Amino acid sequence: MKTILPASAVIVGLLLVVLGFSWSSLFPASRVWTPEKNERKSELASEITRLRFAIVQAENNPNMQSGPNPAELKSTHIELKKEFDLLQEEFENARDSPGSTGSTVKWLGIILTIGGSLFVFANRQG
């Protein structure tokens, strides 16, 4: 039992190292972040930029009879900005998640491999 457990730790550690290096290939960010979300994010960015200019123009040239209402433009801008921020956060999570998970799995495997190897060599010396 003394030799089976450390040897198993070495084997599992090596498997985790291999899994950690291939994690980004097995679970790519494109699995979560779709082209439709990317297109929507681009549309929102364009619309937010357009609204910023419209708000500035409406505030600098107030016209009570016609033209857009600055308050309505600001509320629309805030709503679109919230949706954009949610998509941006989702994008960043999709981009970073495979790399950070793969790194965690890889380092866990390295620790198990080194720890198991130390126990194997200690048992052989004793």
Q: Looking at residue 64, what is its pLDDT?
A: 58
Nearest to 44 by CA among 80, 11, 79, 7: 80
Q: Write down the mean pLDDT value for the chain.
A: 84
| Cβ(123)–Cβ(38) below 8 Å | no
Q: Is the confidence at residue 20, as pLDDT, over 90?
A: no
What is the dihedral sign for C-alpha 78, 33, 24, 116?
positive
Nearest to 77 by CA among 32, 105, 47, 42: 47
| Cβ(26)–Cβ(105) below 8 Å | no
Q: pTM to 2 decimals?
A: 0.62
What is the dihedral sign for C-alpha 50, 54, 55, 56?
positive
